[in-house]
Structure 1
Amino acid sequence: MGEVHIVGYHTCSLDNGLAHIQTHAPFHCNRERKQWLTHGYYFWTDSIHFAHEWGHQGYAGRYAIVKCSLNLDSTLLLDLVGNVEHQLYFGKLLKDYQARFAELKRTGRVPQNAEPTVSRIISHWRKKVRTDRRVFPYVAIKAQDGYSRVNIPFVDSGRECMPIPTRQQLCLFEEGYECIQNKELVHPSTV
């Protein structure tokens, strides 16, 4: 237990202007679109690097970045990047969900060719919180995808490699918004 301090970089569109961004960012993601870690406030963690990449890719270069300090109770963060116990727990949630998913397929409530996804699993367990908070007590999830630019072998002739950099995101759910302690517009420069 204890507190976890994370620096997060929130990338957003410049469409409403810098004054709006300074006052209202970070912004909740689009509820009409499927999201990797379900719905909430998204941050690239630890470095501004991927915030810039997302700005170029997702906003065609017309973007702003807000740097935020996030302070979370460690029991409220599901860390799928740096905590093996959390990864194993997510594996258990996946296994439990797979049985439910098979039933949904049998009854036609999901397409036959659909598969369990990270987003579906999280969404399912977040809905269960309404009746039993102990199953999924988290207000934030930190995860990474398989992206890396370089895979460096640990030893000669070894198959295992260290991927760098890893692309990590944190999704902060609405109920965790108060974990945002400080925010600062860092791109574009206002000086």
Structure 2
Amino acid sequence: MESKKIYQTLEDRDNPDQIEQEGPFPCSWNNSWLGTGHYFWDTFIENAHWWGNTRLNGNYVICEAHFDFSSDTCFDLVGNTQHMIDFENSIKLMKSKNLLQNKTTVARVLSYMQKTLKIFDYKAIRVYGVHSKSKHLKPNYLMKFELDKPQYLDYKPAIQLCVYHLGGLNFRDFNIVYPYDYVSGYVV
């Protein structure tokens, strides 16, 4: 198992004590990419800041936490090729049953894997939302492979984790790391 550092970006409602006592907070938006769960940015705090500036208009709090990452408990569509194949096979099965439409989303496929196929028994999922951030964002953390070609490496990709069940992941150390005046022990 690997210990992972993750970040949750929340709207700043001037409630730091409540955040640290009651967090993390689940997201249940109708258009949640991966279904209802606790959403985090994997490893790179820059992505948490990007989300706070883009989605929350600069009015945000970032909390850091740790959990024990394992492909046994986290469906990893970033680094586990077998999980990618399992996801593809579920899509193929849905297609063969005419359940796949132009409007089918990732969340719908995951729901099918959980509720119908009963093959998704993971406590979390890890994904990389390609084109989540603009290539024109500064800084953008992109490096070309060849100067005259469009291909590039994103070395701080927008990897998200959606934690469905905090138990069993050794989730720990949830605390505010931004803004600094909310950080415990911060002195001006």
Question: TM-score normalised by the shorter chain: which range applies?
Answer: 0.7 to 0.9
Q: CA deviation at 1:4?
A: 3.2
Q: CA deviation at 1:165?
A: 3.0
Matched, 1:167 2:158: yes
**Match of 1:144?**
128
**Match of 2:21?**
23
Distance 2:147 2:57 in 1: 41
**Match of 2:45?**
48
Q: 1:185 is matched with which residue: 170, 176, 183?
A: 176
Query: Taking structure 2 as the reference length, what is the TM-score of the superposition?
Result: 0.80
Q: CA deviation at 1:164?
A: 3.5
AA at the equivalent of 1:26 = P
**Match of 1:109?**
none
**Unaligned stretches of 5+ in structure 1?**
106-113
Q: 1:39 is matched with which residue: 17, 36, 41?
A: 36
Question: Quick check: 1:44–1:51 contact (8 Å CA) kept in 2?
Answer: yes
Distance 1:103 1:19 in 2: 46
Give the number of the structure whose residues are more often helix, by fraction.
Answer: 1
- More deviation in 69-78 or 142-151? 142-151
The within-5 A match list for 1:77-156 is 77-100=74-97, 102-103=98-99, 114-128=102-116, 132=118, 135-147=119-131, 149=140, 152-154=143-145
AA at the equivalent of 1:169 = Q
AA at the equivalent of 1:9 = Y
Q: CA deviation at 1:104?
A: 7.8
Distance 1:12 1:159 in 2: 34
- Secondary structure in structure 2 of the residue aligned to 1:74: coil
For residues 12-53 of structure 1, the C-alpha deviation after alignment (integer angstroms, 9 at most, x for no partner) is: 1122611111111110102x4221111100000011101111
How many pairs align?
Answer: 174
**Unaligned stretches of 5+ in structure 2?**
none
Distance 1:155 1:171 in 2: 34
Q: CA deviation at 1:74?
A: 2.9
Q: CA deviation at 1:97?
A: 2.2
Report the CA distance shift for 1:156/1:126 in structure 2 as closer, same or farther (over 3 A): same
- More deviation in 47-56 or 158-167? 158-167
Distance 2:168 2:14 in 1: 24
Q: CA deviation at 1:155?
A: 5.0
**Match of 1:176?**
166
Query: Taking structure 1 as the reference length, what is the TM-score of the superposition?
Result: 0.79
Distance 1:163 1:87 in 2: 20
Question: Quick check: 2:35–2:107 contact (8 Å CA) kept in 1?
Answer: yes
**Match of 2:57?**
60
AA at the equivalent of 1:121 = V
For residues 126-173 of structure 1, the C-alpha deviation after alignment (integer angstroms, 9 at most, x for no partner) is: 2237xx4xx112111100111354654435777754234311000000
